[in-house]
Structures are given as C-alpha cells and as structure tokens.
Amino acid sequence: MSTADTPIRLLLADDQALVRGALAALLSLEPDLTVVAEVGRGDEVVAEARRTAPDVALLDVEMPGLDGIAATAALRAALPACRVLVVTTFGRPGYLRRAMEAGANGFVVKDTPARQLADAVRRVHAGLRVVDPTLAAETLATGASPLTERETEVLRAARAGGAVAELAKALHLSEGTVRNHLSAAIGKTGARNRAAAVRIAEQNGWLLGD
C-alpha cells in the first residue's frame, strides 16, 4: 500500500486542458497521490510514461492522435506494470467493453466525486478492477456491437451528413454498396433512419476510432 512517503505516481491524459488541470489539482490534494505527467494527446501517452514511470495512467477516451482505448493497449504493451484507469465524460457501454478488452484496469466517469476517484486510483494500483456499476450493468445488457467493420465505417462517415453519393466517393465504394450498408446498420440498430442509427451507435460507443 502506498504512503505519503512513497506516493502513487499518476499520468493524466485528456485533451481538455481545464479538465486535466482540475483533475490534477484534485488528485494532488491527496497525500498518497502525485501527478508526475500530463498530456493532451493519446499518441503522447507511451513516450511520456516511459519518461516519468507512472504507477497509474488516467486516460480520457476521445483524444486527438490516438483514442484512449488504443492508447490503453499501447501503454499496456509498452509498460505492463503501469495500470490504466479510464476516466471519461462518455459513459458508453461499448467504450467500457473495448477499454477492458484493451487492458484497462478501471473505467469511471468524470463526474465521479473526487474522493471516489482517488479511491478508484488506489484500488486500481492495488491490483483491483474498478468499474462504474451502472455502466457495467448497461454493458452486459447492450452486448457487443452488431455492426460489421464496413457498416461501422459507413456510419462513421454518415455522422457529418451528406448524400449517399458523397459518402460513396469518400469511402471509395459504389452508391449501391453504401445504401446496402446503411440499410443493414439501420436494421441492426433498430433505428428509423440513418441519423437515428448514427445516434444509437454513438450512444453505445460503437463508432469510436477512424
């Protein structure tokens, strides 16, 4: 167990500087925790972790360069001793499932009270798994994404709107193929239309990554 003399070393990764700063300030108030690194991009996590040797990395999900789930996998491969706690605004079931598959040791949302967040860090550091209980239940109920890789790609492209012809050009597919994939995705998500399918897939965390 860590003490104030040998505090748990933390790396924070979040692209929102104000959020990152607030987390650093709150966690630094704890005598047994110390923030040794802060980064704003997912592709900076591994290099900074190599430089500062944190015990626990707190990673956001949606970051530039590399999303938090891919960064989790990269960090666990590069520095297996460093534990990962995903701390995100986006409490989506699909994100939780993928984060755990990538090697995360915990997953909590950003509105977790400071005392509970500090406790989550300690528990993850001690080798325990920490998961937001409501989100865990939702993840079990939701299951894995029903979308194929191509259907996911088409829905990602459809997030910004645009006609089928524009999507087809951007994806280097025929218009008929794009329509087929959109139709399949709408059916699998139980949506009424393309926009609803995108919304449902995003809410479930099925569209992360590009």
Write the pLDDT tens digit of every residue in 109-167: 888 888 899 999 999 999 998 887 666 555 554 567 788 888 889 988 998 888 899 99
Which of 116, 141, 166 is the last residue in one of the domains?
A: 141
What would the two tokens of residue 55 be? 């015990």
Q: Looking at the domain assignment, is residue 135 inside a domain? A: yes
Distance CA 105, CA 124 (A): 6
Model confidence pLDDT, tens digit, residues 92-124 = 767 877 888 899 999 988 888 888 999 999 999
CATH value at residue 30: 3.40.50.2300
Size of the chain in residues: 210
- Quote the mean pLDDT of the chain: 87
Instruction: Report the C-alpha dihedral over residues 48, 39, 89, 82, rounded to 10 degrees.
Output: 20
Q: What is the pLDDT of residue 77?
A: 96
Alpha-carbon distance of 10 to 27, in angstroms, equals: 9
**166 contacts: CB under 8 Å, gap ≥ 6:** none
pLDDT interval class at 78 (50, 70, 90):
very high
Together in a domain, 134 and 159? no
Q: 70: which 2 tokens?
A: 């891919």
At which of 123, 141, 159 does a domain end?
A: 141
Domain that holds residue 194: 149-203
Q: How many structural domains comprise the chain?
A: 2
Question: Does residue 193 sit within a domain?
Answer: yes
Residue 2 lies in a domain: no
Name residues whose C-beta falls within 8 Å of residue 29's C-beta, 6 or more positions apart in sequence.
114
| pLDDT tier at 3, thresholds 50, 70, 90 | very low
Q: Are residues 79 and 126 in the same domain?
A: yes
